[in-house]
């Protein structure tokens, strides 16, 4: 497999990192099989404005704005046009906050196309810098093999579950109950009683307390 990098590779409009890798991270013969890190690609943070080109943003601006400027009231429609559907909440908030800053905190203020492109370009640069800085960051919240071993030994789970981390289920275990809400279980007449600790886990905890396991 060739390891030559693609020059200026960027996903097409409305395509997430789940189907294409970011510029500088794509390699011939690999990207056709999907992202190199599907777990990272499925996080909400990976679906930022850096996915879109200047032409994508211009097209969404013209499709969503009733005039030659855009305001807070049209930001939602702009993002729907850009993402071809609802935008991730964190990126929606980021864009709206930056648009507000650009007009001096005036909610009635409006930006023209050039000003919007400046705002989105700055956000794209920040996202790419964050991605480069956090390239080794695990989506599980575990950042080293040592930390993983310690958490496994003490039967500790991450603070955030799969639904808090990923936008879609990525494993068979994720898919089981992914869309099930507590209200659905109640409507079905089912009472959820999760098994928090099995006999083996309780036995291992007693060994840890006794100093038998390190």
Distance spanning both ends of the chain, measured CA to CA: 43
pTM of the model: 0.54
Residue 166 bridge partners (DSSP): 43
| Residue 129 pLDDT exceeds 50 | yes
Candidates 78, 1, 44, 24; CA nearest to 168 is: 44
Half-sphere exposure of 100 (CA within 13 A, CB side): 11
The structure tokens listed for 50 are 């850096």
Residue 112 bridge partners (DSSP): 69
Candidates 74, 64, 67; CA nearest to 107 is: 74
Between 108 and 143, the higher pLDDT residue: 108
112-121 tens-digit pLDDT:
999 999 999 9
Residue 10, C-beta contacts closer than 8 angstroms, at least 6 positions apart:
22, 23, 51, 53
């Amino acid at each position: 497999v060739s390891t030559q990098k693609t020059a200026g590779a960027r996903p097409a409009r409305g395509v997430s990192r789940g189907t294409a890798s970011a510029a500088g991270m794509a390699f011939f013969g690999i990207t056709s099989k999907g992202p190199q890190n599907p777990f990272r690609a499925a996080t909400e943070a990976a679906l930022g404005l850096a996915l879109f080109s200047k032409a994508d943003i211009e097209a969404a601006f013209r499709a969503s704005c009733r005039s030659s400027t855009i305001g807070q009231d049209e930001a939602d429609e702009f993002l729907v046009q850009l993402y071809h559907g609802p935008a991730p909440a964190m990126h929606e908030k980021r864009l709206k906050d930056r648009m507000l800053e650009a007009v001096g905190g005036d909610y009635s203020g409006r930006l023209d196309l050039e000003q919007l492109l400046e705002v989105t370009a700055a956000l794209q640069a920040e996202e790419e810098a964050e991605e480069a800085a956090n390239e080794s960051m695990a989506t599980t919240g575990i950042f080293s093999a040592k930390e993983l071993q310690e958490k496994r030994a003490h039967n500790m789970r991450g603070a955030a579950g799969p639904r808090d981390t990923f936008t879609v289920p990525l494993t068979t275990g994720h898919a089981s109950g992914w869309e099930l809400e507590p209200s659905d279980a109640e409507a079905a007449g089912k009472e959820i009683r999760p098994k928090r600790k099995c006999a083996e886990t309780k036995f291992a905890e007693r060994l840890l307390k006794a100093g038998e396991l390190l």
